[in-house]
Amino acid sequence: MEKKVLAALILTGILCFGATGLRAQEPASGAPATSSDKNLEAALDQNVALMRQDLRSQKKQLIAANLKLTDAEATKFWPVYDQYTAELTKLGDQKYALIKQYGLGYGTLTNEQATELVKRSLALDEQIAQLRTKYVPIFNQVLPGTKTATFFQLDRRITNLIDLKVASQIPLVQEQK
């Protein structure tokens, strides 16, 4: 089963992120944003939102296929999963905003701005870890410990694969010069 998860996620990552890429464009020579730029940015936001929604759906399908739940467990698990995912999505929104800010500033980032982006990124990582920690006892109320652990293994693997694909599309800060 784990090979199916890995193959599906790699394919998803390639299809969703490989085609669009998250590399920043070179900034226009300090010119103010035009309505065309704003339309392009709005279209990008919409495309990313659709991709993220599709990834969440595929993630749920992968978890359903690999987390062996009884009917009684499933009835209790999925509402908790949906609540967890909603909270995780809010943090994902912040992560996307951070990546977008990086992309918009790419080529002109100062040392201070780069440091601030790193701090915000690390704070988001901490918030995600805190969210998972918060949900362990909540999932344990509806699942046995082994299934809770299996869920978090799947969740982390899927998230790590997606994060790796996204990170590979973002240019390093020092390359901006």
Amino acid at 167: A
Which residue would you say has higher pLDDT here, 174 or 7?
174
Q: How far apart are CA 119 and CA 122, in angstroms?
A: 5
Question: What pLDDT score was predicted for residue 33?
Answer: 61
For residue 149 the two structure tokens come to 């652990």
Please state which of the ranges 12-21, 42-51, 86-95 shows the lowest mean pLDDT: 12-21
What is the rounded average pLDDT of the residues 93-97? 90
Q: Are 94 and 126 in contact (CB under 8 A)?
A: no
The reported pTM is 0.75
Decide if pLDDT at 153 tops 80.
yes
> Is the C-alpha dihedral spanning 151, 15, 129, 44 positive or negative?
negative
Q: How far apart are CA 93 and CA 39, in angstroms?
A: 20
Q: Look at the block and give the residue holding tokens 């362990």.
A: 136
Q: How far apart are CA 65 and CA 43, in angstroms?
A: 33
Decide if pLDDT at 138 tops 50.
yes
Decide if pLDDT at 142 tops 80.
yes
Decide if pLDDT at 131 tops 80.
yes
